Structure 1
Amino acid sequence: MIRKRRKITRMRGSRTVGGGCSKKRRGAGHRGGRGQAGGHKHHWTWIVKYDPKHFGKYGFKRPQKLIKRLETVNLAYLDEMIPELLERGVASEEDGMVVLDVRDLGFEKVLGSGRITRPVHLKAYEFSRSATEKIEEAGGKAEVIE
């Protein structure tokens, strides 16, 4: 089996062990500091050439109070939970259609992920387009509450 000799073994006896001039190995001074040091001073040309957007602010940060976050629920979850909700009395059955106000469950918007297998009358603040289509396709109704 061929075994390569370790580099340090080969370097035994050499003065600088492959590091070039002996002054090069003295700390970070040879490379102009560690990391991003000197970005405004001696590494400025590097910043301008390779990372021109390093300094400054870009874009717009929306105020948090303007961002509307709604609690969402998917159709698949509601379809799965309907028997349990009927049992608990949160949902009711009228004219062969399950009536459910999703606000009672702590949700505000209904999303259209998954399938709905029975006609349901859902009440919520908002519905996604796909959710509305799937509910109506199953013979149900999506009622938006203001």
Structure 2
Amino acid sequence: MIRKRRKITRMRGSRTVGGGCSKKRRGAGHRGGRGQAGGHKHHWSWIVKYDPKHFGKYGFKKPQKLIKRPETVNLAYLDEKIPELLESGVAVEENGMIVIDVTELGFEKILGSGRLTRPVHVKAYEFSESAAEKIEEAGGMAEIIE
């Protein structure tokens, strides 16, 4: 039901403003503590009825050391670093195409952010779909290393 007037405006002038005995409104004593207080004691029946799964453990959490998080690199970074990689010998130019093995740089997966300005033959353990598409659009090759 929607009230036209707020309850507090009708209660102005009354001693307890609808709160029963004035002592009941002090602190959290009348409600049996704040928050989850008494969950194992005087609020147990509330827990059983409204929050039966409150206590205990549920499910399984995979150990963090077993979660595989590959080192990633974007196409924009590779395109920017090609001259430096050619100088250092990590990248080699063969038949008009630059060959880069990103595992030598410490990366495992190629992501598709950015674009390539020249044909590049990239070797990596994994490629995102967009990265593989962009490499082939630029006239290069995406080779998966086993």
Q: Under TM normalisation by the shorter chain, which class is it?
A: 0.7 to 0.9
TM-score of the aligned structures, taking structure 2 as reference length = 0.73
Q: Does 1:58 align with 2:58?
A: yes
Shift of 1:28: 2.3
- 2:8 match: none
Deviations 1:89-130 (A, max 9, x none): 332222111111111221111112222221111111111222
Structure 1, unmatched stretches of 5+, are 1-9
How far off its partner does 1:63 sit?
3.0
Partner of 2:76: 76
The percent of aligned pairs where both chains have the same amino acid is 86
The amino acid that maps onto 2:84 is: E
Matches within 5 A, 1:44-123: 44-48=44-48, 50-123=50-123
TM-score normalised by the chain length of structure 1: 0.73
Question: Aligned ranges for residues 17-32 of structure 1 at < 5 Å?
Answer: 21-32=21-32
Mapped partners of 2:105, 2:140: distance in 1: 19
State how far apart, in whole Å, the 2-side matches of 1:18 and 1:88 are. 81
Deviations 1:19-76 (A, max 9, x none): 7634225432222112211223333444455545433333321233432121011112
Which residue type is aligned with residue 89 of structure 1?
A: G
Structure 2, unaligned stretches of length 5 or more?
1-11
- For residues 61 and 90 of structure 2, the distance between their equivalents in structure 1, rounded to whole angstroms, comes to 40
Root-mean-square deviation (CA, aligned residues, Å) is 2.7
Distance 1:53 1:80, change over 3 A: farther
